[in-house]
Structure 1
Amino acid sequence: MKSKTKFSKKLLLTLNGTGQGYFTQPTISNKQIIFVCENDLWQVPLEGGRAQRLTSSRSETHSPVYSPNGQWIACCTMEEGEHDVYLMESSGGPLQRLTWLNSVTHIVSWSHDGQYIWFRSTHQAVHSRGSDAWIFRVSINGGPVERLPYGPAMTVDLQVNGKKGVVLGRNTLSNSRWKRYRGGMAGEIWVDKNNSGNFKRLFRDLQGNPVSPFWLRERLWFVSDHEGVGNLFSCTPEGGRLRQETFQKEYYVRFPATDGKALIYHVGGELWILDPEENSGPERETQIPIGWHSTKTRLQRRFFYGDEYWEETMIHPQGHEVALTARGKLFSMPFWEQAVRQHGIRDGVRYRMPCWLPNGKLAAISDAPLKKNKTKKLSAMEEQLDVFGSTPTEFPDCSHRLPPGRMQEIAVSPRFQHLALTTSRMELFLINAETGRISKLDDSKIREISDPVFSPDGRWLAYTKHLSLELTAIFLLDLKPSANGKRIKAKDPVQITQPVRYDFSPAFDPEGRWLYFLSSRIYNPIWDTVQTGTSFSRSMKPYLLTLKKDSPNPFEALPHAPGGQETGGTPAGDSSHETQDSNNSTTKQSKDSKKVALEIDLDGIAERIVEFPVSEGVYKQIIGLPNKVIFTEFPLSGALRDLEAEDNQDKDEGILWVYDFEKQEAETIAENVGIVQTSVPDESENSSRTMLYSSGDLLRALEAGVSVPEDTKTEKQHSRKSGWLDLRRIRISVQYQEEWAQMFQETWRLQKEFFWTEDLSGVDWKRVYQRYARLLPRIGSRSELSDLIWEMQGELGTSHAYEYGGDYPYSPRYPVGCLGADLVFDSKQKSWIFQKIYSGDIWKPNEHSPLAEPGVSVEEGERLLAVGGVPVDEHKTPGELLVHQAGQIVPLSVGQGTSKKKQVKGPKGQVSSVKNFEEDARQVLVKTLSGEQEVRYREWVRENIKTVDSLTGGRVGYLHIPDMSTHGIAEFHRGYLAQVDREGLIVDVRYNAGGMVSPLILEKLAHRHLGFDVPRWGTPESYPYHTLRGHLIVIANQFTGSDGDMFTTSFRQLQLGQLVGKRTWGGVIGIDGRYQLVDGTTTTQPQYSIWFHHAGWSVENHGVDPDIQVEDTPQSYINNEDPQLERTVKEMLRLLKEKPVLSVNYSPSPRRLLPE
């Protein structure tokens, strides 16, 4: 290939002048290029020109690869719900599905003869992380898939032109998403020069992250960032004569592809070409001029309903309507009547934290332009307070600057135009919504201030503040506002509670008698049922403080006549309630008293604490009502019930209680409750209060403190009677290009505010923004925006900078029903055999093979003959017949499959031979699984236990911890408690996905054995209970990450035992996943960095080095070996020999003879 690929600037300008797409994942053959843009495949000649769209998919099409002869394109798409392998003619045409695997799949290459497609897939994965993907192959005619024996790998490429070299890429996904990564999961290149199964790893000491290895001519090529930016390099098959081939300065080289003649790749949304025949140097790199003309379908405006995307709400003070944000847009909506109103700029702006002001205006935090029709400059890319009138307008009546940081919580004064704001920088401010005047009220040095709430007269502000990391208290501020509220003379904050643990969620009694709050201070131990231990899971209760010294306990009943009503809650001595009418309604005397400024006796207020007469539990909110108080309680449940929700308190499963001081009793008034709000009517307002609560995606408005009507408890119809609001009245218009630009800016802004060092570890973050923002006009699909955000955040060179979720195009989901078994095709008998059946935990629904169910009892070696009455064969695979059958009861025909034939007549009388299923088959009904990973994982753990037990004669135990979250803590205790009496224990944390429970596991492992509890009958028990006497060894690998990193380095620091395996991932800067973008995307900010006494900051971006390094080579997988486990067992046996765990020789028991 010669210099004809040098394109003129004039041609580039001519073709690119109408706008460009985000061109990725190219493949090349015979001077034709196919690439991905807008989730579809496009084709363009190598010399450039107008691109032609080949597909028009509903979902995402990715990883196209030309066949060796250029006739076919293999790719993956989700047209039927899963990432599977599809085939199409390279000139275009229908897609033909080849696999049905229920897994994440990517095309990697082809066989030389063009008969097989090689792809990586998590099919048959034991571990949940994508790093447990293997290489498979499938015929272009479909049929059985075959797993190649090389072990986990990302890519594989075969040398051409008579050469036999095989190059295997491990951990070789794009290095652009964590730039300059140097941890244990950096890319590995393994080469087998003769295709003999003898692989050698190259570049063990290269200080970079090599990815995407492939053959070109006589050399091996790959992308590496060891020189700073990801560029192409090449070397000999032995790893010698390393040479840089591309010289990009800003963007990483990605997705290189070659047909042996030319080399193309992606750089910053563009496609580039390199002539491998020319001498090395930047002059041989050329951008391909692509004339791209698209209808930009995925940028077209779309419409949504409010129930899909509502975010935050604020009930109107009069209790008749709600202000809310939905997909970042600001709305106000009367509950059941009249029109929904949208406020503010329609597109490209995010509004949040809506609130009603006492003067009826609507305020919200926004990132709108500072002036009309002006785009914000980078230096001004911050948020502001916008105040709107009652009439919907695009631009606010006024805008005010905000304090530094991100506004976290907001409270509105019921009397003055005051807003209390807490910030990410642990400060508390008061802002006047009319004048914009900002007053700093308090700050913390420990954690964010939270839960601000005003007193009914607007004079006092209560809030929660940390005293230490382990204690929070309620504080009170006297704002001393002027009569019109324009000025304040705030006094110093006063701590008004003495916490035992956490005091939080203050709320004022509307009549100024009490201040309510919730507190975690009940240490009532709950015994564990599987081990000796306790927890304090129900530590909370509601409490109140009496605001006047002479106020009695409101829970003590007052004397009353027989047949009369108690007047608890209006105790003697409370002057605001000296007179009541016969219906216990407040008289004019108490009404007038509400207009008097609230005075609080601060002396000794912390001692005037009174506990509510309710049971301890898990409480979240408390709100005061006239003579009542409402609070939410959340049930305790196992965290494994929903593995995606660590804290079930975040689900709308709360119980809403009301405590009535007149009746002196608490009752449940609603269930399945999330967040609750109540209206705060003006002092002159005589109407009752309204409460608004969430329940899943729903909102409900009812009279505050009153039980849900019996006849509407299960009703979901929208009506005044039921209280449910019709959020589909809110109609949302989305212009994607403007929305994505806002999301991109907010992502950048969140990192700027929350990254754990102020200077973002020296990264010029403004420069990074400018570098990637210029690519925004190219973005044409949601997945392209995701890729751009990942690239931008990758410049931080730090772990845990993630982006996931969001509004992706709808693709139908028809998951494949799984049988929990390995099925292989017997080419001789032309039938499918149950090679292995995974029993899993047979007692757990959905966690064992349905073939092992009582009454089904299919055995290994039997044959699957038909699914749903349709015969299976080489081309009609079981997976194809199980599409859309996940979780369904399916009839199977099973038997020995003698393949006897019988003659049948067709509809026109023709005779044909088919298998005779009736003679040999038996019919079974099975309920298929939606996935097999849990079932395969359980089998893998059991096999490892058997291996260790066999090799050590039962002396050593084994357990695996898959993560440091709910699943991991459960697996640890399941394995530990059953084997704690062994002479040694192997703790396997390979593939550990991280979490937060490593301190709990380390605490258990660090227990020192002090003695025995010796009974008269039976076996002595360790003291402390469940303490291991023997040796400990931990196995880790490059997929041990996050809290897995922290576990392994802490295990070493505590000197609990040896560490065997490979260097760990190296990512210990934690996140909280607190922030979502307008379409539901979660972006994470590396916010909490871990420093160790023995290792300092060194674990991040390096990992933890093992004491005994053991490589898991491709040969070990080919030979079905686990060298890391075998080496660990060998080391454990050595320890047992050198330092045996001896049986105990008790000293003579004491004698207690009677005196003679």
Structure 2
Amino acid sequence: MVCRFFSLSVTVLVCSLTTASAQNLFATANPSGGGPNTTRLLRFPTTNDRDIVLCYAGQLYTVGKDGGTARRLTSGPGYTSFSRFSPDGTQIAFSSEYDGNREVYVMPAEGGVPKRLTTSATLARDDVSDRMGPNNIVMAWENTKPLIVFRSRMRSFDDFVGSLFAVGLDAELPQQLPVPRSGFVSFSPDDSKMAFNRIFREFRTWKHYRGGMADDVWLYDFKTGATENLTSNPAQDICPMWGPDNKIYFISDRDNRMNLFVVDLATKETKQLTHFTDFDIKFPSMGKQSIVFEQAGHIWRYDLATGQATPVPIDIKEDFDSGRGGLVDAAKHIESVNLAPDGERTIVVARGDLFSVPAKNGTPRSLSKTSGAHERDAVWSPDGKWIAYNSDATGENELYVRSQDGKGEPQQITNGGDTYYYAPKWSPDSKKLLWSDRLQRLRYVDVASKAVTLVDQDKFGEIQSYNWSPDSQWITWARPEQNDMPRVYLYSLANKQQTAVTDSWYGSGEPVFSDDGKYLLLASARDFKPTFGDQEFANVYRDMQRVYLVTLAKETANPLAPKSDE
């Protein structure tokens, strides 16, 4: 066997967005017709009833409560968000990454040098795009003391669990609030009580959840230590805000969209205040006279006196540096590689584009040159002529095939993409492509006719391992089952029939045909050799899997059958 090392020194000119196109992307009109034709993707607002501070592209901006052109407040590295005005409206606390780690900072509301208030360990999961959410999130100020309350996972081994801590402007050690775990929080005017969520899951993508992790608004009395479930509803009741009128405002998806609600502490009467039907309200924050929130990429302001919610027209006017084109070393952003059948070249996916790279001599070829689309999962056909790959050039995932030498236009092989596609696999005769998707289907397509055939659609999970037989007439795959024991199946292209290879007693997977097509090899967990712990009398099973071989015809002898000289 010859091993070759490919030198992937590729530089690609990326012109994904011009300044004009970036502005068009971020300033499109609200599809629902409910927002102004101004800058979108505005997030995490806060207000002192005179100004609004918000996050855009990971930096803080300030603008008057009635809108206008926003002025940038921060310019540090990393992502800055979750700003909160102090009770007197003169300072803002926020979470930022000036020094590498996400920490709590404070600065004058009009702008100025930020002061770092916390120092904590770096966590493996600490990103605004992570479903667990970022760490050290500023939640609120206390009303009677200059203390900033933030949610942190500094003492938790579980990325899902965080606690509330208070830190002063002197940057002394934060003190944990007397509740074991929490999320959003707001304090009564005299700080004797707080309204809070026990669970923090606003960064997860679940919708209409009604299970045990759907949160309620709780009240905690600092004097007595008593807690009270204020809302007690199957829906999500989150982001409580203690109003100056002694009412608790919050958002809830009781009508299947996150809308603004209020509950009267005296009567316990709950009232819905907004009625959005297109997109959820996200991350509301309260001043003394109004509530600001994000909805459909815009910032809205709800006036407590009039009970009216209006969009705030906000424009961002700057150079949009992140939207400029430039030279990027694609070798530092490699997503996948796939070797040509003859070993002379390899197809590389880097920064969403396709490159054909020689083994030793020659120049790389940029095949796709589509800065506005993401190409991925590129695989070389067995005959060495074609490259198959996934692309979202149409706006949805579709399979494409193009010539390996870069000549001609790519051919779109599938249509009507309705979910995320996984990597395709060529049939050995280079005539078909087999792939699975997040709708738990396994399908193949005839490249010439573009006819798609459904092999299987599972009820219990995504199909992750699948392969072709050497003659391209059979497919094998591992199907997830209800008992969590995957089974291996065969599919005949001739009669469109499925055949189970393994039973439901043992988990089996990763099936592959032998080169001559006589055998099926698979992994299966069938070895039960328990060990026992020193402290607990409990069975522990390890190394359960082995590789097994199945003969595919009666006349095929078992190559591992017992041998005897007699």
Query: Do Structure 1 and Structure 2 share a fold, with TM-score over 0.5?
Result: yes
Q: Flag the 1:184–1:141 CA change in 2: closer, same or farther, 3 A.
A: same
Contact between 1:518 and 1:540, CA under 8 Å: does it hold in 2?
no
Residue ranges of structure 2 left out of the alignment (5+ in a row):
1-28, 124-134
Contact between 1:156 and 1:166, CA under 8 Å: does it hold in 2?
no
Pairing of 1:986-997 with structure 2 (within 5 A): none
Aligned to 2:251: 223
Contact between 1:67 and 1:114, CA under 8 Å: does it hold in 2?
no
Aligned to 1:167: 194
Alignment of 1:609 with 2:536, yes or no, is no
Q: Which of 537, 542, 545 is the aligned partner of 2:543?
A: 537
Deviation (angstroms), 1:92: 1.1
Aligned to 2:468: 453
Please list the CA deviations of residues 203-235 of structure 1 after superposition, one character each: whole Å capped at 9, or x if unmatched: 354343222222322232222333443222333
Pairing of 1:619-698 with structure 2 (within 5 A): none
Aligned to 2:119: 100
What letter matches 1:118 in structure 2?
A: V
What letter matches 2:555 in structure 1?
A: I
Larger strand proportion of the pair: 2
Aligned to 2:5: none
Deviation (angstroms), 1:114: 5.4
Contact between 2:49 and 2:288, CA under 8 Å: does it hold in 1?
no
Deviation (angstroms), 1:609: 2.0
> Is the partner of 1:526 in helix, strand or coil?
coil
Aligned to 1:243: 271
Q: Flag the 1:330–1:77 CA change in 2: closer, same or farther, 3 A.
A: same
Please list the CA deviations of residues 426-478 of structure 1 after superposition, one character each: whole Å capped at 9, or x if unmatched: 555462x4x335475965878859543353xxx4545425699568567586x
Pairing of 1:168-567 with structure 2 (within 5 A): 168-171=195-198, 173=200, 177-191=205-219, 196-197=223-224, 199-220=226-247, 221-278=249-306, 280=307, 284-301=308-325, 305-306=329-330, 308-357=332-381, 360-369=384-393, 381-388=396-403, 390-391=405-406, 395-396=409-410, 398-401=411-414, 408=422, 410-412=424-426, 416-424=429-437, 427=442, 429=444, 431=446, 433=447, 435-436=448-449, 438=451, 440=453, 448=463, 451-455=466-470, 459=471, 461-465=473-477, 469=481, 475=490, 490=494, 502=508, 505-509=511-515, 515=518, 517-520=520-523, 525-530=528-533, 533=539, 535=541, 537=543, 539-541=545-547, 543=549
Please list the CA deviations of residues 815-851 of structure 1 after superposition, one character each: whole Å capped at 9, or x if unmatched: xxxxxxxxxxxxxxxxxxxxxxxxxxxxxxxxxxxxx
> Is the partner of 2:370 in helix, strand or coil?
coil
Aligned-partner Cα distance in 2 for 1:258–1:498: 60
Please list the CA deviations of residues 42-88 of structure 1 after superposition, one character each: whole Å capped at 9, or x if unmatched: 01111222110000121111111112222221111122232211111
The TM-score, its normalising length taken from structure 2, stands at 0.75
Aligned-partner Cα distance in 1 for 2:302–2:52: 14
Aligned-partner Cα distance in 1 for 2:464–2:141: 58
What letter matches 2:338 in structure 1?
A: M
Aligned-partner Cα distance in 2 for 1:182–1:222: 17
Aligned-partner Cα distance in 1 for 2:304–2:500: 75
> Is the partner of 1:298 in helix, strand or coil?
helix
Deviation (angstroms), 1:334: 0.9
Alignment of 1:149 with 2:178, yes or no, is yes
Aligned to 1:117: 148
Contact between 1:341 and 1:392, CA under 8 Å: does it hold in 2?
no
> Is the partner of 2:161 in helix, strand or coil?
helix
Aligned to 2:41: 22
Contact between 1:422 and 1:450, CA under 8 Å: does it hold in 2?
no
Q: Share of identical aligned residues, percent?
A: 20
Q: Flag the 1:115–1:327 CA change in 2: closer, same or farther, 3 A.
A: same
Pairing of 1:1000-1015 with structure 2 (within 5 A): none
Pairing of 1:1030-1069 with structure 2 (within 5 A): none
Alignment of 1:41 with 2:60, yes or no, is yes
Contact between 2:259 and 2:274, CA under 8 Å: does it hold in 1?
yes
> Is the partner of 2:322 in helix, strand or coil?
helix
What letter matches 1:107 in structure 2?
A: V
Q: Flag the 1:348–1:336 CA change in 2: closer, same or farther, 3 A.
A: same
What letter matches 1:256 in structure 2?
A: P
Q: Which protein shows a greater Rg? A: 1
Aligned-partner Cα distance in 1 for 2:392–2:188: 55
What letter matches 1:106 in structure 2?
A: I
Aligned-partner Cα distance in 2 for 1:218–1:525: 65
Q: Flag the 1:227–1:467 CA change in 2: closer, same or farther, 3 A.
A: closer
Contact between 1:313 and 1:324, CA under 8 Å: does it hold in 2?
yes
Q: Flag the 1:526–1:82 CA change in 2: closer, same or farther, 3 A.
A: same
Q: Flag the 1:538–1:71 CA change in 2: closer, same or farther, 3 A.
A: closer
Contact between 2:138 and 2:148, CA under 8 Å: does it hold in 1?
yes
Residue ranges of structure 1 left out of the alignment (5+ in a row):
1-8, 370-374, 480-489, 546-601, 614-1156
Please list the CA deviations of residues 545-593 of structure 1 after superposition, one character each: whole Å capped at 9, or x if unmatched: 6xxxxxxxxxxxxxxxxxxxxxxxxxxxxxxxxxxxxxxxxxxxxxxxx
Aligned to 2:161: 131
Deviation (angstroms), 1:342: 1.9
Contact between 2:105 and 2:116, CA under 8 Å: does it hold in 1?
yes
Q: Which of 64, 77, 80 is the aligned partner of 2:99?
A: 80
Aligned-partner Cα distance in 2 for 1:151–1:437: 57
Deviation (angstroms), 1:392: 5.0
Q: Flag the 1:356–1:421 CA change in 2: closer, same or farther, 3 A.
A: same
What letter matches 1:400 in structure 2?
A: I
Q: Flag the 1:232–1:474 CA change in 2: closer, same or farther, 3 A.
A: closer
Please list the CA deviations of residues 499-549 of structure 1 after superposition, one character each: whole Å capped at 9, or x if unmatched: 89648543444xx5x74542457966534153575747254246586xxxx
> Is the partner of 2:400 in helix, strand or coil?
strand
What letter matches 1:112 in structure 2?
A: N
Q: Flag the 1:392–1:49 CA change in 2: closer, same or farther, 3 A.
A: same
Aligned-partner Cα distance in 2 for 1:116–1:131: 22
After TM superposition, the structure 1 stretch with the greater mean CA deviation from structure 2, 418-427 or 324-333, is: 418-427
Q: Flag the 1:321–1:204 CA change in 2: closer, same or farther, 3 A.
A: same
Please list the CA deviations of residues 466-494 of structure 1 after superposition, one character each: whole Å capped at 9, or x if unmatched: 699568567586x8xxxxxxxxxx46779
Aligned to 1:734: none
Deviation (angstroms), 1:33: 1.6
Q: Flag the 1:164–1:72 CA change in 2: closer, same or farther, 3 A.
A: closer
Deviation (angstroms), 1:267: 1.9
What letter matches 1:339 in structure 2?
A: T
Deviation (angstroms), 1:301: 4.1
Q: CA RMSD in A?
A: 4.0
Aligned-partner Cα distance in 2 for 1:174–1:474: 38
Aligned-partner Cα distance in 1 for 2:381–2:476: 23
Contact between 2:137 and 2:152, CA under 8 Å: does it hold in 1?
yes
Larger helix proportion of the pair: 1
Q: Flag the 1:540–1:206 CA change in 2: closer, same or farther, 3 A.
A: closer
Aligned-partner Cα distance in 2 for 1:341–1:354: 14
Aligned to 1:1133: none
Aligned-partner Cα distance in 2 for 1:122–1:444: 40
Count the aligned residue pairs.
Answer: 503
What letter matches 1:196 in structure 2?
A: K
Q: Flag the 1:133–1:338 CA change in 2: closer, same or farther, 3 A.
A: same
After TM superposition, the structure 1 stretch with the greater mean CA deviation from structure 2, 295-304 or 337-346, is: 295-304
Aligned to 1:927: none
Please list the CA deviations of residues 351-370 of structure 1 after superposition, one character each: whole Å capped at 9, or x if unmatched: 3443334664323133355x
> Is the partner of 1:610 in helix, strand or coil?
coil
